Structure 1
């Protein structure tokens, strides 16, 4: 019997507002997997499915014209990917690789479409969450349009503080991944962090950052 205290679906905003009985029903449709660091779990051309991170860390990225990684997101517990492919669209460019040993849950296109028919409220909730993700991609593109790397970094840090509602927070990505997310190199990003510290705008202890002004 599926426990009500530990359900993968309870981690996901799309499902966790449903009654527990419905969550258990959805949980029965999920397939659980365990992956090690470095394993690629999604690649262009893969069949449509939703992947939920139950534990661990997964990086989403695409390749630019030069074949270099462009980080889209680093996923942690409760994050998911694949909802847009569940409607029949093909994954044309996105890769997902495990950064830390991960426990993942997946649901197939067929099972997900049945859920949408049975629970119409999921479609509305999914639309809202998808719009939030589109907004995040739009924000990233806005960063990349800024000519100066330091300006991109400062805008990114301020948005992270705003999202969390506090001036002190932990960066959600490693420096290497944040550098590619902001379209620069780790060396340049490190220099820009030091510039912001020297200007008295931030305080930083590894990945813990405090906005000072």
Structure 2
């Protein structure tokens, strides 16, 4: 079920809208809708007409493609605060991949027509959005460099550091996806990922308990990059 709700602060804290003034934020919020989906539910499917994009308030959304042979390739896993499928709004008529909830999720749905109308009336909004969007482009360039220039261990170390949190003197990373999904995200298979994790633990870089990885020495761990 969808309903309108006040979300100016949520929009302002997302990368795409962070540079917009309060009036523009209010205009977008007035046209936006709340969407709640449960774990395993599709947000959109590959080839579906792209009529909206989304802000993920809480939960996790997996973006993936299915090959002709039936194998799954994970393109990205979105977490709270992320913008989802904005690219399909700007340069495509259809969603280029599938989006499915890995957890129960709450999102903001921003209709394409309302957003495009705002841009047409206020070109300055488009310029500000282009500035914010360039940050996302740099992030994807970095991801491509990781796949071409870094080995699996380095990609795994970078993932753990990027998703780590600090509690007291301990830096830890809670694995919120399955190892199969993490393997696909890192461009490998589960068996190879397991060997890489075991190697890091055997060398004293990590400890693991119930899907939570504790980094034994962050400075030493960072030298692996």
Q: Gaps (5+ residues) in structure 2?
A: 221-225
> TM-score scaled by structure 1?
0.78
User: How far is 1:98 from its partner?
Assistant: 0.8
- Partner residue in 2 for 1:46: 48
- 69-78 vs 12-21, which deviates more? 12-21
**Alignment RMSD (CA, Å):** 3.2
Measure how far apart 1:93 and its partner are. Answer: 3.2
CA contact under 8 A between 2:19 and 2:128: conserved in structure 1?
Answer: no
Superimposed CA distance per residue, residues 140-193 of structure 1 (whole angstroms, 9 cap, x where no aligned partner)? 3334336853343235445x279x9xx935357523322111122233212211
Are 1:179 and 2:193 an aligned pair? no
Q: Structure 1 residues 85, 191: CA separation in 2 closer, same or farther (over 3 Å shift)?
A: same
Equivalent residue, structure 1, for 2:203: 199
Aligned length: 209
Q: Distance in 2 between matches of 1:111 and 1:47?
A: 16
134-143 vs 70-79, greater mean Cα deviation: 134-143
- Quote the offset at 1:204 in angstroms: 4.4
Deviation at 1:100, TM superposition (A): 1.0
Q: 2:156 aligns with which of 131, 147, 153?
A: 153
Normalised by the size of structure 2, how large is the TM-score? 0.75
Tell whether 2:112 aligns with 1:124.
Answer: no
| Cα 1:78–1:119 shift into 2, 3 Å | farther
2:39 to 30, 37, 40: 37
Q: Give structure 1 stretches of 5+ with no counterpart.
A: none
